[in-house]
Amino acid sequence: MAAPAATPASPAEKLISGTIQSTWLLWIVGGLYIAGPVLGWGLAMLAFIAIYTAPNQAPAERPPPLHPAIHLWLWGMAAMLIILIVGHLQNELGLPKTIKSSIGWAKGWALMALFPFAGAVLQVRPEVIYRAICRLGLQTLIVIPFFLVAPFIGLPGLLYVSPLKIVGGSGPEYFAVILYTIEPGAGTPRWQFFAPWSPAAGMIAVVHILCAIEEKNLKWKAIGIVAGLMLALLSQSRLALVALAIVGPTAYGVSRLREAWVWFAAAPAVLGLGMLAPQLQALADHAIYKFTSARADSSRVRAALGRIATDRWRNEAPWFGHGIVERGPHLVEYMPIGSHHTWFGLLFVKGLTGAVALIIPMVASFWMAGRLSLRDPVGRVALSMLLLLTLYSFGENLEILAYLYWPALFLVGIAARRASQAYGAPPGASRQANAPSIIRVYGPCLAAKPPWKQDVSIETVPRP
């Protein structure tokens, strides 16, 4: 008998579900930054084994051909390593820094290809990920009261830094167990939970909400959504609130483009937008002003970092970048140049070639997920995750946080597998994954099964 939809069955599903539900335990020991890369490379190894052993498996159990978008992710992130080495050679950074940066690539950019690759090959059901995130949400609701009271009962914000920091990382914050931080200027507490900083916690909260929405069990769905909303609100991330308002509705609208009522509803909406354009422009300008002034110092530093990064990229290293981030001046409070923005960071560190290496697979993935969303809910989920990553690419360095938002990348891979099964089958083949087709014929039939669909069964029925 088949396992329930949300119950892990295969080793990959058990590994993924167990890792998600162990998030708080891994945070306590400072192991989240290690678990993400280990899981990514481990799942990729399982995927390689599945491809290698595919000829010896039954046709229904073989992984489908890799979608072109997955090929582009693999090639693009491999190009990141080559670009990194070239950048280090051009800037004469030396062998030790090159090795260190290559290890950083394995824990960052590489994961952005490995998780989609594993999702496209391994037989992992998205329902398992949704349920695991909702179960993690229950744990979150249990521990949140402790975080809320911590600043008011005299507990220190930083409890300790895990000894696991010896494995290396961008900073001790990836291994720190922090209950809360105090917002500069305002003096109010702000929470980051198991993320290295508060905006990152807001990003993970949106990923969890998007997954919880897809959960079929109403109890678990409510738990997952409430927990995600608590994380988003308490992190006080402005971008998380914007993402909640934009990502889900946009993905839902794209997934309904084949339905006539969407176009009929869009026509008067577009007409109204045209007539109210000046007022809407003024409203948008006011919203942007309120958004940036909510944390004026942070917005000022981010803008200055962007200006410095683009100016130095354009004038000093346009093709392969500077190789590494550099400490900024006092104007940006000594924040690293190339941080707080994926695209500015790519241009400064890896140049135009690095930016292109990320743009191409992302555009291909958008096309894949957009097409699939018209017929499969997992396509809509993948499209939501890609929209979220795009939105956060203007406020975070995506590669640094891949160890946290990896379920989003894995779901993109699952969508690529579904797209390969749906659009890659020969003409006339069944487009349902791993579902045997039945061809009904009247009278005796001696036809052989098609070679591309060995699990097709032929049923002979009497002529009416």
Residue of 436, 421, 371 lying closest to 63 (CA atoms):
421
Predicted confidence at residue 410, as pLDDT, reads: 98
For a pLDDT cut of 90, what percent of the chain falls above it? 64
H-assigned helices in 276-341: 277-294, 296-316
Beta partners for 181?
190
Hey, is 386 helix, strand or coil? helix
Read off the pLDDT of each residue in 163-184 and give the average, rounded to a whole number. 86
Mean pLDDT of the chain: 85
Lowest mean pLDDT, pick from 117-126, 215-224, 282-291: 282-291
Residue of 114, 101, 99, 134 lying closest to 38 (CA atoms):
114
Predicted confidence at residue 428, as pLDDT, reads: 38
Residue of 405, 413, 353, 349 lying closest to 378 (CA atoms):
413
**Model confidence at 155: pLDDT above 50:** yes
283-339 pLDDT, tens digit per residue, is: 666 555 565 555 666 777 878 888 898 999 999 989 999 999 888 887 777 788 888
338-361 pLDDT, tens digit per residue, is: 887 899 999 999 999 999 999 999
Predicted confidence at residue 27, as pLDDT, reads: 96
Asked whether the beta carbons of 38 and 115 are under 8 A apart, the reply is no
**Model confidence at 36: pLDDT above 50:** yes
Residue of 404, 367, 411 lying closest to 385 (CA atoms):
411
Residue-level length of the chain: 464
384-416 pLDDT, tens digit per residue, is: 999 999 999 998 999 999 999 999 999 999 999
Predicted confidence at residue 56, as pLDDT, reads: 85
Higher pLDDT, 336 or 282: 336
What are residue 460's phi and psi, to 5 degrees? Answer: -100, 130
How big, in percent rounded to 5, are the helix, strand and coil portions of the chain?
65, 5, 30
On whether the pTM is more than 0.85, the answer is yes
**Model confidence at 462: pLDDT above 60:** no
Predicted confidence at residue 146, as pLDDT, reads: 95
Predicted confidence at residue 172, as pLDDT, reads: 87
Rg (C-alpha) for the chain, rounded Å, is 24
Lowest mean pLDDT, pick from 106-120, 297-311, 440-454: 440-454
